[in-house]
Structure 1
Amino acid sequence: MVEHSRPAQIQVAATSFLALFSIVGLALYGLPFYYDFMVREFGWTRTQVTSGNALSKLVVGPLFGFTAGWMIDRFGPRRLMLIGILMAGLALVGLSTVSTLGMFYLFYVLNALGYVCGGPLPNQVLLSRWFDKARGKAMGFAYLGIGVGGALVPLLSVWLIANFGWQGALRTLGVLIIVIAFPMAFFVKEAPEVEQERKQSAPPASISGALRSKSFYLLALGSMCSIAAVGGTNQHLKLFLSLDQKYSQDAAAGVVSLVLMFSLVGRVLMGWLADRIPKKYVMLLIYLLIAAAIPFLFYAARPGAIYLFAIIFGIGLGGEYLIIPLMAAELFGVKVLGRLMGIILTADGVAEALSPYFVGRLRDATDSYATGFIMLIGMAVLGAVAVALLPKRKIAL
């Protein structure tokens, strides 16, 4: 691997930090904080308000996920990042104006397009191209942006809502996404493959070889199950706390922020571990942490239990998103990482869409989150089983 200049690496890591801070931390994690306002104001059910996430992932993921991966491998991640940042910002501005479910779903789809084009996928490829030995550390730092944005957005939203109403708060978040992330992404340098490196390196792994590998499907299954557990929890956490447990807005925001603050610990810790021990074991630890955290929600009326949930779930959440591309790069190399992650993230999108939808349906049908939470625990455990069957080293393709 050719050594890239330190200043350029710092710029790349900072760009990914801000892109993930904005598109995932503010836009993705921020929207569920506004669901209860929409339920109260428009009379929508929990299933309806969380179906925006489901619909957008089911439409956008299968149609655009693999295409985005191919475009990143072919043209580089920068162009898609710029488009994605604009889409995510405009989507939040649009969501601040909706009063019908149709428009709500339309702008949610636009937000999902922004996530696909400017979120984890292009940043994973960008970081993997620039970093080799310290890839885990670099990915961990960049993914801190998700935790920082996610931890700040509930607290920022409380202040914005108090001063401008929930629609004004959403508009402000949309503008912030563009102002924060677009300039850095515009000037970021992509790491070109040097011809000398191409000649000296081994032939790149083919995507067909990866798709014939059992390990690819185990990785995809593990990722889908974990994302389903995380997505189902994240999408319903604020609804569960504020409407079922009668937490105040400030108290619910505090729990959500605590989760995302401890996700910062998880990103640093798991990135550090991933550079030192087999990534398979790091991935297994993350999935087991997620499975162990969710049962504490059954005791959410007890402050100690909800804080334990926030700490354990936050650490698992922090490592969950960054470990998947690290594991994929370790197993299959970086040459086709964009396309492989495009497939995995498409599958993840389907899981992340269906999980909150079914949790919402179960809540509406039973008047309780108990069955839904049990389902999420089972998904996390199944993901851990799939990961346990993965090899520790790069496989021959």
Structure 2
Amino acid sequence: MSANAAVAAHAVDSRRAWLTVVAAFFASGVTLGTAYSFGAFFESMSEEFDAANGSTALIFGITTCLFFSLSIISGRMSDRFGPRVVLVAGAAALFLGLIATSRVQSLGLGYVTYGLGVGIAAACGYVPMVAVVGGWFEQHRAVAVGLAVAGIGVGTLVMSPVSAALIDRWGWRDTYVFFAVGGAGVMLACVPLVDRPPGDGSPQPSRFKDALGSPVFRRFALSAFALGLALFVPFVFVGQYAKERGIGSVQAAVLVGVLGGSSVLSRVGFGSLVRRFGSFRLYRACLIITTGSFLLWLAAGSSYVMLVLFVLTLGVGYGGFVALSPIVISDRMGVAGLGSILGLMYTAPGIGALVGAPTAGWLIDTTDGYRWSIIWCIAAGSTAVALLTGLPVDKSGRLERASNARG
């Protein structure tokens, strides 16, 4: 065994590896927590700019699309230059984007400042960090990735109700200033904790061609796109739905927080169950849970208890989707160049979010209610589940490992 190989073998699953989990937890938590707390800002921004639901929701759609699609670039940057450079870039984008958003005088300019700022920050703080965590682990990879992405749920759990309370006290503009300073500070604090996965120190290869040439990968990505049409709608609208039914602003924001909180448990829980049930089998179950949860929203009416049950159930499915996606992909494609593969895969639900949330807003404006937007989500989720039918699965419940580079 060479000296480099011996060092790599010692480092994998080591204490040093767990520091990357801490960094990924906080980096993803602060960036995605910021993005997913947008629902708390929705009403204030919509009223100030006299904008329709669909137009205001487009801010979230653009941000989520950029976050996922720019992960192609940030994932590749992490493979090539290392994760520390990516985190610094994300901290700068978050700070500048939120400061600029706090000063915009039109919704259209907010599309640019918030969309680019938070979108770039999330692209830097999530996918590359998850790929790095995956490269630092072998025996405990599923649990480590589950803990890393649990940061998104904790960030959402904390930041959504905090956003509502700060907006009530200080207004939405000052709240973005607070988030700019605090969020950038957290990301910079993560920089010393993260480093390249063990190896010879050379840049990771690009795997775009392998992924795009794989029929299994393409089907998986198309399913993720369909899920993205539905998954992000509640982040924007469930709080607004609750407030229109007489529920207070902080209580309404707590719904998104509960969604994030329940996703924490499922991220860690599903990660620990991979060996027993198989990553793909669990992933498919999560998509079924996600789709079925919208039936609870459809039946909720003005019941806050039913709304809580809806977001709890959705959080379980959503958390599993996030935690298991990297595991399913690495089972199929391997971990070499995983940053570029995950960046490409996550573009699919990002495009789904760009289409799904504004479409739901348009349906709400057109029909003067939420029924048809919820039905839209159910149809999209059902399509996502159907697209997984027929993919090659081994006896352990994982996608079969690709027999060649094209998968």
* TM-score (norm: length of structure 1): 0.91
1:249-264 matched pairs, under 5 angstroms: 249-264=249-264
Q: Are 2:67 and 2:122, in contact at CA under 8 Å, matched by a contact in 1?
A: no
Matched residue of 2:171: which SS?
Answer: helix
Q: Are 2:130 and 2:145, in contact at CA under 8 Å, matched by a contact in 1?
A: yes
Deviates more, 1:209-218 or 1:174-183: 209-218
In structure 1, distance between residues paired with 2:52 and 2:391 = 40
* Number of the residue aligned with 1:312: 313
In structure 2, distance between residues paired with 1:28 and 1:14 = 20
Deviation at 1:322, TM superposition (A): 1.9
1:148-163 matched pairs, under 5 angstroms: 148-163=154-169
In structure 2, distance between residues paired with 1:30 and 1:16 = 19
Deviates more, 1:381-390 or 1:367-376: 381-390
1:37 aligns with one of 17, 40, 44: 44
Overall identity of the aligned pairs, in %: 22
1:2 aligns with one of 9, 31, 34: 9
Deviates more, 1:342-351 or 1:65-74: 65-74
In structure 1, distance between residues paired with 2:196 and 2:352 = 31
* Number of the residue aligned with 2:84: 78
In structure 2, distance between residues paired with 1:146 and 1:137 = 15
Q: Go from structure 1 to structure 2 and tell me whether the alpha carbon gap of 1:364 and 1:357 turns closer, same or farther (over 3 Å shift).
A: same
1:236-251 matched pairs, under 5 angstroms: 236-243=237-244, 245-251=245-251
1:17 partner amino acid: F
Deviation at 1:165, TM superposition (A): 2.2
Deviation at 1:89, TM superposition (A): 3.0
Deviates more, 1:319-328 or 1:207-216: 207-216
In structure 2, distance between residues paired with 1:275 and 1:387 = 20
Deviation at 1:24, TM superposition (A): 0.7
* Number of the residue aligned with 2:3: none
In structure 2, distance between residues paired with 1:166 and 1:350 = 27
* Number of the residue aligned with 2:177: 171
1:10 partner amino acid: W
Deviation at 1:177, TM superposition (A): 0.6
Q: Go from structure 1 to structure 2 and tell me whether the alpha carbon gap of 1:173 and 1:275 turns closer, same or farther (over 3 Å shift).
A: farther
Q: Are 2:38 and 2:235, in contact at CA under 8 Å, matched by a contact in 1?
A: no
* Number of the residue aligned with 1:325: 326
* Number of the residue aligned with 2:402: 395
In structure 2, distance between residues paired with 1:7 and 1:20 = 20
Structure 1: 5+ residue runs without aligned partners?
199-203
2:27 aligns with one of 19, 26, 33: 19
In structure 2, distance between residues paired with 1:112 and 1:76 = 20
* Number of the residue aligned with 1:120: 126
* TM-score (norm: length of structure 2): 0.89
* Number of the residue aligned with 2:55: 48
In structure 2, distance between residues paired with 1:366 and 1:379 = 19
Q: Are 2:163 and 2:175, in contact at CA under 8 Å, matched by a contact in 1?
A: yes
Deviates more, 1:219-228 or 1:70-79: 70-79
Q: Runs (4+) of structure 1 moved beyond 4 Å?
A: 56-62, 204-207
Deviation at 1:303, TM superposition (A): 3.0
Deviation at 1:184, TM superposition (A): 1.6
In structure 2, distance between residues paired with 1:303 and 1:57 = 27
In structure 2, distance between residues paired with 1:375 and 1:270 = 27
1:154-233 matched pairs, under 5 angstroms: 154-194=160-200, 207-233=208-234
Matched residue of 2:276: which SS?
Answer: coil
Deviations 1:247-292 (A, max 9, x none): 2112202222222211111111111122432211111111011111
Deviation at 1:140, TM superposition (A): 0.9
Structure 2: 5+ residue runs without aligned partners?
1-7, 394-399
Deviation at 1:138, TM superposition (A): 0.5
* Number of the residue aligned with 1:280: 280
Q: Are 1:210 and 1:216, in contact at CA under 8 Å, matched by a contact in 2?
A: yes
* Number of the residue aligned with 2:396: none
Q: Go from structure 1 to structure 2 and tell me whether the alpha carbon gap of 1:207 and 1:255 turns closer, same or farther (over 3 Å shift).
A: closer
In structure 2, distance between residues paired with 1:99 and 1:209 = 45
Deviations 1:312-337 (A, max 9, x none): 11111211212111111010001132
* Number of the residue aligned with 2:5: none
* Number of the residue aligned with 1:362: 363
Q: Go from structure 1 to structure 2 and tell me whether the alpha carbon gap of 1:308 and 1:58 turns closer, same or farther (over 3 Å shift).
A: closer
Q: Are 1:235 and 1:356, in contact at CA under 8 Å, matched by a contact in 2?
A: yes
2:99 aligns with one of 90, 93, 97: 93
Deviations 1:350-387 (A, max 9, x none): 11111001111111111112111111111112111222
* Number of the residue aligned with 2:75: 69
In structure 2, distance between residues paired with 1:246 and 1:42 = 23
In structure 2, distance between residues paired with 1:56 and 1:265 = 26
Deviations 1:208-253 (A, max 9, x none): 344322111111012212222211222222222223x232112202
* Number of the residue aligned with 1:295: 295
* Number of the residue aligned with 1:384: 385
Q: How many pairs align?
A: 387
RMSD: 2.3
1:142 aligns with one of 139, 145, 148: 148
Deviation at 1:166, TM superposition (A): 2.2
Deviation at 1:301, TM superposition (A): 1.0
Q: Are 2:20 and 2:194, in contact at CA under 8 Å, matched by a contact in 1?
A: yes
Q: Go from structure 1 to structure 2 and tell me whether the alpha carbon gap of 1:250 and 1:370 turns closer, same or farther (over 3 Å shift).
A: same
